[in-house]
């Protein structure tokens, strides 16, 4: 047998799964809360939660995580210096130090301006002791990477700071997008190293000596060495793992995959067994990158979404809160205070007030980070002192301070990551009605009683309504995703929303009704899916697949992925050469090279490009690597009459190397498919 250990570190939970790869079965699994202040603790709890003695022949440990994505969105990471060559950066992402140096190339790969070696040297020296990473981006380096390579060589001689070049991360045009990608990559290096070190600490404590692999955002996996150099490629790693895990658990090649976690619900599409990728590059934190990653739609509806009841209205918000049932396990003293709030007469917040400032007496706050000097008011600082040891509600803290609750700036403290909100969530709704029981349900029941009392509803009626609201919201997000897939547009007008509402409710209007059916099955991944997804699938007459191990589907995806490396090359014919086999120039990560014929150019790309991606795949940990080339010619047709024919405009070549991790390649060769199942 060959075993693999998969770990997924999410925003709320860390999952672990032990798989017998040679038999394609899950041997053991467990979930634990993610411990953000010490990731290794949550990972150790998940691995230990499997309650088995780990086998000595674990061939690989593979990791997926939302950590990189969350770090970018939250602005975390190390200090970075950016050196742009040949063009000013538009400052669309903040950098700690910046220098613009003369140089760069043209679309033809010719030098637009000589590289200013002295200015480059001075810029590197100015950054040497003041940043943790250096990003280098040169104008049109995808046509000729010479200036970026020379700049990196200079940085290597003058510093020992990790340095990354834009052309190594993307072969697509877009100077500013490559600069953003390079800066994000440099900033993430210590974040990903901390995560991998946390996993390796647990591996060492457990006596596991297997290699560590990391899932990319495109659904493939890479070695820890590659991940340490290119951590930007781990963005959307978690959603990618759910798509790969969905295929592994169901065997379906085409499906809608919905992963409902604590913080978000991610929706992606499997087409012909592969996740659909975002061709223009993933958008993270509102910024376009040049990183190939799965195309997913993410909504802020998950098990930890904050529920607000105010003025008799129920609101499900994308804001994250720690569920009452989870918080009570850590701070049992809040249970009595939740019950007291449920029994007391309620107070309503003015409906004109922003919902983020609505005060609910069953919501508590605890300090998780020290403020920066001068960043908050004295009142907010005193509030942080009160909640530094245990959670308090805003009303409780305001009474202690002798002030009005609205004098405490909760939205600002929350946005800056200084406090953790505790409150009523969909996870509590499931605990209160008994459909999901992992923690103590008593605080969840009390929280539900507080809410239904303010809506003047019976508890059962309130819980049914709350679950239906969650179903409607995720159903709406599903339709938005499918409309985008079908039309290429995410713009919804009032007519579109009316059709969505009629389809979800099943109720006709005055003159017409609407029913939307799906022609692909829905695969549910995540712990709470059985509570919500059957009702959602019924709305659309869709087949619903809830695999046995769906609650750890991401961890399954992490350990069943393949190693894939690619390289793209552009071949342009010489200007005015209309021969069938014209003179050509090749532009690629290998550099700019001229050839006398297209035949020679293609042979070069396949030979040298194939060797390049093969070596990258081997370095990433692959064995039994297969290399393939996809060649697409773009031609201008001259017509069908006299002188008819075509002229080559350009040729695009994509070279791909794919293989399984070395430890698993033997199992594959011994008659098993790519997921370790026996071939028929």
Residues 118, 91, single domain; the answer is yes
- Interval 227-248 mean pLDDT: 90
Last residue of one domain, picked from the residues 511, 529, 553: 553
CA-based diameter of the chain, in Å? 93
- Is pLDDT at 667 greater than 60 in this prediction? no
- Interval 540-567 mean pLDDT: 91
Which residue range(s) make up the domain with 659?
562-669
Residues 376, 399, single domain; the answer is yes
Q: For the chain, what is the radius of gyration of the CA atoms?
A: 27
Decide: 355 and 306 in contact? Cβ < 8 Å. no
CA distance 300 to 128: 40
- Is pLDDT at 672 greater than 70 in this prediction? no
Whether residue 146 is contained in a domain is answered as yes
Say how many domains are in the chain: 4
What pLDDT score was predicted for residue 664? 59
- Check the CA dihedral 135-136-140-143 and report its sign: negative
**Please, which pLDDT band fits residue 346 given cuts at 50, 70 and 90?**
low
Last residue of one domain, picked from the residues 463, 485, 510: 463
Residues 318, 447, single domain; the answer is yes
Residues 448, 511, single domain; the answer is no
Strands 58-65 and 3-9: parallel
Decide: 289 and 235 in contact? Cβ < 8 Å. yes
What pLDDT score was predicted for residue 528? 85
Whether residue 640 is contained in a domain is answered as yes
3-state secondary structure 298-322: EECCCCCEEEEEECCEEEEEEEECE
Decide: 186 and 166 in contact? Cβ < 8 Å. no
Whether residue 411 is contained in a domain is answered as yes
**Please, which pLDDT band fits residue 478 given cuts at 50, 70 and 90?**
very high
- Domain at 102, CATH number: 3.40.50
3-class secondary structure, 28:
strand
Residues 315, 455, single domain; the answer is yes
What is the DSSP secondary-structure string of 428-480?
A: HHHHHHTS--SS-SHHHHHHHHHHHHHTT--HHHHHHHHHHHHHHHHHHHHHH
Whether residue 250 is contained in a domain is answered as no
Question: Each residue of 521-541: b (16+ CB within 10 Å) or e?
Answer: bbbbbbbbbbbbbebbbebbe
- Interval 524-529 mean pLDDT: 89
Among the listed ranges 280-284, 364-368, 375-379, which one has the minimum average pLDDT value? Answer: 280-284
**Please, which pLDDT band fits residue 676 given cuts at 50, 70 and 90?**
very low
**Please, which pLDDT band fits residue 373 given cuts at 50, 70 and 90?**
low
What pLDDT score was predicted for residue 292? 82
Decide: 33 and 42 in contact? Cβ < 8 Å. yes
What pLDDT score was predicted for residue 351? 58
Encoded tokens for 589: 């990560």
pLDDT tens figures, 20-65: 877 778 999 999 988 877 889 999 999 999 988 877 778 889 999 9
**Closest by alpha carbon to 597, among 585, 581, 586, 609?**
581
Residues 384, 532, single domain; the answer is no
Last residue of one domain, picked from the residues 434, 463, 492: 463
What are residue 579's phi and psi, to 5 degrees?
Answer: -65, 160
Residues 580, 520, single domain; the answer is no
Helices (H), 506-620: 529-539, 553-560, 598-604, 610-619
- Interval 464-487 mean pLDDT: 90
- Is pLDDT at 213 greater than 50 in this prediction? yes
Whether residue 47 is contained in a domain is answered as no
pLDDT tens figures, 573-615: 998 888 889 999 999 989 899 999 999 999 999 999 999 999 9
Whether residue 289 is contained in a domain is answered as no
Residues 318, 458, single domain; the answer is yes
- Interval 80-88 mean pLDDT: 95
Residues 549, 566, single domain; the answer is no
Whether residue 515 is contained in a domain is answered as yes
CA distance 355 to 408: 15
**Please, which pLDDT band fits residue 120 given cuts at 50, 70 and 90?**
very high
What pLDDT score was predicted for residue 2? 78
User: Which letter does DSSP use for residue 258 in this model?
Assistant: E
**Please, which pLDDT band fits residue 416 given cuts at 50, 70 and 90?**
confident
- Is pLDDT at 678 greater than 60 in this prediction? no
- Interval 216-231 mean pLDDT: 89
Residues 544, 569, single domain; the answer is no
What pLDDT score was predicted for residue 254? 95
**Closest by alpha carbon to 2, among 679, 542, 485, 666?**
666
What pLDDT score was predicted for residue 671? 45
Residues 321, 442, single domain; the answer is yes
Whether residue 209 is contained in a domain is answered as no
Between 642 and 381, the higher pLDDT residue? 381
3-class secondary structure, 653:
strand
Average pLDDT, the chain: 88
- Is pLDDT at 137 greater than 90 in this prediction? yes
Its pTM stands at 0.80
Encoded tokens for 249: 């658990």
**Please, which pLDDT band fits residue 10 given cuts at 50, 70 and 90?**
confident
Decide: 126 and 110 in contact? Cβ < 8 Å. no
Decide: 104 and 147 in contact? Cβ < 8 Å. yes
pLDDT tens figures, 285-299: 667 777 888 888 888
Residues 396, 416, single domain; the answer is yes
């Amino acid at each position: 047998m060959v075993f693999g250990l998969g770990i997924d570190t999410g925003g709320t939970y860390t999952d672990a799964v032990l798989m017998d790869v040679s038999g394609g079965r899950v041997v053991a699994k467990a979930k634990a809360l993610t411990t953000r202040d010490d990731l290794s603790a949550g990972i150790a709890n998940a691995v230990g939660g499997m309650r088995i003695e780990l086998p000595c022949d674990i061939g690989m440990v593979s990791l997926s995580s939302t950590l990189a994505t969350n770090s970018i969105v939250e602005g975390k990471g190390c200090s970075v210096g950016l050196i742009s060559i040949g063009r000013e950066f538009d400052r669309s992402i903040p950098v700690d130090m910046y220098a613009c140096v003369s140089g760069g190339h043209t679309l033809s790969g010719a030098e637009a301006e000589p590289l200013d070696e002295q200015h480059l040297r001075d810029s590197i020296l100015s950054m040497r002791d003041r940043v943790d990473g250096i990003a280098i981006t040169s104008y049109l380096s995808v046509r000729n990477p010479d200036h970026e390579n020379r700049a990196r060589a200079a940085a290597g001689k003058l510093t020992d700071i990790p340095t990354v070049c834009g052309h190594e991360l993307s072969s697509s045009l877009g100077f500013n997008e490559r600069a953003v990608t390079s800066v994000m990559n440099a900033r993430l290096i210590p974040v990903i190293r901390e995560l991998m070190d946390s996993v390796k600490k647990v591996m060492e404590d457990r006596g596991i000596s297997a290699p560590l692999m990391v899932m990319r955002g495109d659904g493939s996996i890479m070695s820890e060495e590659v991940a340490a150099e290119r951590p930007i490629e781990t963005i959307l790693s978690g959603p990618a793992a759910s798509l790969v895990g969905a295929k592994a658990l169901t065997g379906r090649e085409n499906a809608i995959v919905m992963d409902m976690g604590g913080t978000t619900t991610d929706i992606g599409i499997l087409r012909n067994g592969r996740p659909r990728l975002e061709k223009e590059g993933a958008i993270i934190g509102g910024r376009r990158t040049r990183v190939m990653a799965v195309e997913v739609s993410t909504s802020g509806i998950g098990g930890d979404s904050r529920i607000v009841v105010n003025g008799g209205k129920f609101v499900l918000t994308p804001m994250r809160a720690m569920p009452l049932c989870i918080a009570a396990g850590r701070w049992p003293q809040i249970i009595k205070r939740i019950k007291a709030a449920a029994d007391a007469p309620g107070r309503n917040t003015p409906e004109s007030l922003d919902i983020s400032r609505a005060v609910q007496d069953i919501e508590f706050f605890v300090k998780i980070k020290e403020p920066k000097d001068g960043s908050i008011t004295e009142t907010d600082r005193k509030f942080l002192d009160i909640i530094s040891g245990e959670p308090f509600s805003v009303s409780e803290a305001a009474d202690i301070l002798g002030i009005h609750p609205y004098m405490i700036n909760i939205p600002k403290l929350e946005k800056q990551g200084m406090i953790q909100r505790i409150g009523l969530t969909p996870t509590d709704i499931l605990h209160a009605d008994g459909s999901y029981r992992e923690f103590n349900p008593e605080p969840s029941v009390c929280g539900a009683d507080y809410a239904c009392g303010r809506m003047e509803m019976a508890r059962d009626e309130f819980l049914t309504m709350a679950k239906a609201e969650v179903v409607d919201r995720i159903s709406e997000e599903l339709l938005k995703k499918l409309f985008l897939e079908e039309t290429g547009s995410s713009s919804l007008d009032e007519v579109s929303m009316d059709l969505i509402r009629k389809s979800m409710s099943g109720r006709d209007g005055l003159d017409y009704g609407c029913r939307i059916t799906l022609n692909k099955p829905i695969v549910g991944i995540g712990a709470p899916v059985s509570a919500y997804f059957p009702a959602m699938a019924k709305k659309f007459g869709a087949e619903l697949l809830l695999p046995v191990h769906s609650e750890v589907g991401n961890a399954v995806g992490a350990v069943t992925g393949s190693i894939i490396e690619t390289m793209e090359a552009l071949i342009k014919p010489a200007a005015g050469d209309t021969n069938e086999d014209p003179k050509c120039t090749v532009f690629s990560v290998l550099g700019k090279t001229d050839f006398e014929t297209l035949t020679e150019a293609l042979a070069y790309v396949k030979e040298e490009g194939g060797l390049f991606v093969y070596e990258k795949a081997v370095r990433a940990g692959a064995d039994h690597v297969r290399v393939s080339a996809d060649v697409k010619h773009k031609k201008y047709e001259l017509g069908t009459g006299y002188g008819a024919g075509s002229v080559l405009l350009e040729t695009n070549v994509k070279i791909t190397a794919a293989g399984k991790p070395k430890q698993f390649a033997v199992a594959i060769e011994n008659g098993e498919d790519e997921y370790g199942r026996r071939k028929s």
